[in-house]
Structure 1
């Protein structure tokens, strides 16, 4: 049975949980300034799942690092509940493409490692670890080590570790990119369920347009050189719930066109041929 995920209601008069204003970011490469983000403006409401797509080099991962507070060398504003981001904090957590689990710790130990600076009591920490391991469906593997897990299971542990502090924001940098196709499809639904259960505000960077449409309440489409927002597209519930719906396919094709991927495969009785659209 397909699970139904209803979008939360976002009110225009509610202050954004995250606000990015006139954001510019440059790096110095071989003595020359290279602008990687230019004029980025984005507001995210509490409880939203925002997906970010774009070609390599358009600054998607850099944007997540700035929101996380790992890099403060930029111009513009990044505000959480109206306050500027000055440093990393427990209110923001991230999951990378590589699970980055500590190989000498068990599943339980890896999740618990995220609570080292938490003010919770020992018993409360143990309960939080147990709850989040159960949330990602790995209760039977609590004492297993990373080498004993599949790639999908290891990413579930990474997600549990990122959520165990109950962060306000969950940042996801291609967390499913290294998985096989079937595992990736399953974990997309799991990720949607987990984020909704936790009530977390999520921002996901991905190169998979289908994934972006399926998971996001809105898609941020970026263009490179320098990285900038080309368009922000709202995704209706029907498209998020049914990958075969006309609305899903229409939105996917719209995003692909914005990314400059407009080729269509036309099947003929004898062969399939790739046809580029006229320009």
Structure 2
């Protein structure tokens, strides 16, 4: 059953394109007001205007780099100054790097961890009390199929997604009686700007899905009578995730390395 989000407010990070923009459109279509966060102000403003016109919701754009010092505090200030109470949070912002760790830019690695892990945890902690008190919303943390095995040549990215999966599954258990619906979304290769930032399309594994397909997977899980604490988008991706969990690491890691070495 499609759940009604009318009268609720959702934060969506990484909202200027890809999965974030699609989550924003889906939630707005269900009546949710939005706080849209990403670095690109022009895209955020255009999306906010689009959603307000199409669905009659309030959409507040906030141009912000969530990896920057004080970013989460800036989000909470933005929300409080507008008298908003947050019912839902979609932590979608994140990026990856490709190549050997020894040759990677150290500052960029730190930025990746701050965004993929630090900002996600801090935003979740900042708004979790009011989300559980409301019991009307959702918490979606976007991980990846990279969460199911070590990822040579994208070692830091893969490890951040392992963290996101473990963290979200634990939070889902802690909040299981609150009414808040919590899931970890684990997509595979998706037609977004992700691989443009990575710097190579060759880092992808498997066939592309569209943002619409991936978000629809998450929404079906959230609409279910019992929301799973994690969901993998795509049948082949789901099968690969199961295999990665049951096969010996001594086999999985070299196989993954060959796929990622391009």
TM norm structure 2: 0.35
| Bigger CA radius of gyration | 1
Give TM-score scaled by structure 1 length: 0.34
| Larger relative contact order, structure 1 or 2 (CA cutoff 8 Å, min sep 6) | 1
**Going by fraction, where is helix more abundant, 1 or 2?**
2
